[in-house]
Structure 1
Amino acid sequence: MATVDECRDALHALAAKLDHNAETQGKLDFDRTLACRVPDLGTAFHGRLTGGRLIDIADGDDPKAKIALTAASDDLLALLNGRLDVTRAIASRQIQIKANPFDLLKLRKLL
């Protein structure tokens, strides 16, 4: 099982990757709140996806988030580090993403 700090670091690494992608590939018209819930650690994180970037990452849940990702800590790390395919992870129920279908399509472009 991964630690809370490892999950937080992976989210910040994803944010840095998205910043780089936004600079090189152009901005994506996408502005949504995001909650990332890690039930095996009893923790959550929240932030905002805007312009193809992940910003304002903080500890704690956002129950009103437009996009909610729920994953075990090890699955979250594998997903954020590119070792777990998001489509397969959703199909096998390793992770759950609650969002409207159009947001899911845009989210796939980011991951």
Structure 2
Amino acid sequence: MATMAECRSALDRLSDNLTTAEGDVRSATALDRSLSCHIKDLAITFTGRLKDGRIEVLDTIEGPPVEKAEIRLTMTGDDLVAMVNGELNFARAWGSGRVRLEAGFRDLLRLRTLL
């Protein structure tokens, strides 16, 4: 099971990957939205913002998110680490329910280019 530090590191690497992305991926992440990433098996939630193509983690709280972020991810720590390492395909994981992504309709349309 991935640790909280490994999950935080994975989010930082994902943020770095987004900042170096080009084309459709770069434009899809050029939002300014609140973001939460709930790690089910660790019972923690990273909260922050997706802004200017970066994920900025502002806080880590115990349990599920207290407030409803505009973009919400839910998964296990191992799945987060595997996705960032390229070992787990996001689209397949999302399609199977292994990873949950919730957002407004327009944001989902923009974020679909990440799939």
Residues 46, 57 of structure 2: 8 Å contact kept: no
Match of 2:46, SS? Answer: strand
Match of 2:14, SS? Answer: helix
RMSD: 2.2
1:70-85 to 2 correspondences below 5 Å: 70-85=74-89
Deviates more, 1:61-70 or 1:86-95: 61-70
1:58-69 to 2 correspondences below 5 Å: 58-60=59-61, 61=65, 63-69=67-73
Match of 1:18, SS? Answer: helix
Q: 2:13 and 2:100 mapped to 1: Cα distance?
A: 21
Deviation at 1:25, TM superposition (A): 4.8
Number of aligned pairs? 109
Q: Which runs of 5+ in 1 are unaligned?
A: none
Residues 46, 59 of structure 1: 8 Å contact kept: yes
Query: Is 1:100 matched up with 2:104?
Result: yes
* Cross-structure match for 2:3: 3
Query: Percent identity among equivalent residues?
Result: 41
Q: Which runs of 5+ in 2 are unaligned?
A: none
TM-score, normalising length from structure 2?
Answer: 0.80
Deviates more, 1:7-16 or 1:27-36: 27-36
Q: 1:57 and 1:16 mapped to 2: Cα distance?
A: 16
Match of 2:73, SS? Answer: strand
Residues 34, 62 of structure 1: 8 Å contact kept: no
Task: Sort the Cα spacing of 1:48 and 1:62 in 2 relative to 1 into closer, same or farther, 3 A.
Answer: farther
TM-score, normalising length from structure 1?
Answer: 0.82
Residues 15, 53 of structure 2: 8 Å contact kept: no
Deviation at 1:106, TM superposition (A): 2.1
* Cross-structure match for 2:113: 109
* Cross-structure match for 1:47: 48
Deviation at 1:19, TM superposition (A): 1.9
Match of 1:93, SS? Answer: coil
